[in-house]
Structure 1
Amino acid sequence: MQERFKDAFRRYPTGVAVVTAAGPVGLTVSSVASVSVNPPALSFSVMATRSARALLAAPSFVVHLLGRRHAGLAQDFARSGGPRFTAEQGWETLPTGEPVLPIALAGLRAVPLHRLQVGDSTLVVAEVVDVLTGPDDDRLIYHAKQFVMSDGT
């Protein structure tokens, strides 16, 4: 059943984001969803990893919505030992301590409202307290275990 479940979601394309917190710590997620406009809120889930545990303990974080130019960055943050927070990637630090990528499509600074343990994952619901927008870019999609770059056609 678990393999069939994973296979079903591999067939379903999603957007790609990198979530970061002070430390610095960060990881790639493909489960970001808008939850509410009033208050502005989003959700995402993470599996139990060292990076996820540090992120879940943080009082705030930034969800970076990624575009085509960030495919390599998404891959780096998706695998253990990948380069993270390098000068070449373009990271800066907010006054509140979180790493921020100004060239992301958007950076949504958020504070957690709820953390719900579900099996080996944690669902996070967070209130967005600041929205930082970067330059437009083409789509970056996660589909069939690959980051797919789209030119919009």
Structure 2
Amino acid sequence: MLDSGLSPEDFKLAFRHHAAGVAVITADAGDGPVGITVSSVFSVSAEPPLMVFSISGRSFSAPTIRRAETLVIHLLSAQQLNIARLCSTSGIDRFADTSIWSRLPTGEPHFPGVPVWIRGRVINRMEAGDSTVIAVHALESVHADIQTETPLVYHNRSWHALGDASQLDG
């Protein structure tokens, strides 16, 4: 049994000062597309190409993403703030506007306007507290001219654009 540890409020406060890249995960396990905004995506291995992310069990999208065999991870730039906001807003149909999303030939929903997306197969799931950690094997990716894109990051409960002015060394 774990010690009681930090309170949820203290834990969240500590992580508010840890900036993280913003991604949107989309999937369809057979009952319609879902999408969720996360800041927990990171690469684990280049060979084989593996990534992980976590989702809260309280999310409306969590049951579908947990059941999905494949999904799409969209790595957002600041130009896609609207998609980050869309997929982080509760109580709406995130796929109502059919002009901003489509399906890949393999069936997964995706946002084609995002500069980098990676389609992957779920290879492992682990329950961790009130969340699920999901490991994904990358199968294919599309990346536009990412040199012109400004990464979107989440810090201290707000969105930020990471730009050249934030670079500390040359």
- Report the TM-score when normalising by structure 2: 0.84
Q: SS where residue 131 of structure 1 aligns?
A: strand
Work out the percentage of aligned pairs sharing the same amino acid: 38
- Give the paired residue count: 152
1:126 paired to 2:126? no
- Take 2:87 and 2:111, find their aligned partners in 1: how far apart are those partners? 13
Equivalent residue for 2:168?
Answer: none
- Report the TM-score when normalising by structure 1: 0.93
Equivalent residue for 1:142?
Answer: 154
Q: Point out 4+ residue stretches in structure 1 off by more than 6 angstroms.
A: none
Question: Deviation per CA, 1:60-112, whole angstroms, max 9, x where unpaired?
Answer: 00000000111121011112124523234x21210111112222121110111
For structure 1, list consecutive stretches of 5 or more residues without a partner in the other structure. Answer: none
Equivalent residue for 1:113?
Answer: 123
Q: SS where residue 50 of structure 1 aligns?
A: coil
Q: Which has the larger radius of gyration?
A: 2
For structure 2, list consecutive stretches of 5 or more residues without a partner in the other structure. Answer: 1-5, 166-170
Judging changes above 3 Å, is the alpha-carbon distance between structure 1 residues 92 and 134 closer, same or farther for their aligned structure 2 residues? farther
1:13 paired to 2:23? no
- Take 2:124 and 2:45, find their aligned partners in 1: how far apart are those partners? 14
- Take 2:86 and 2:92, find their aligned partners in 1: how far apart are those partners? 4
2:55 to 43, 46, 49: 46
- Take 1:64 and 1:20, find their aligned partners in 2: how far apart are those partners? 8
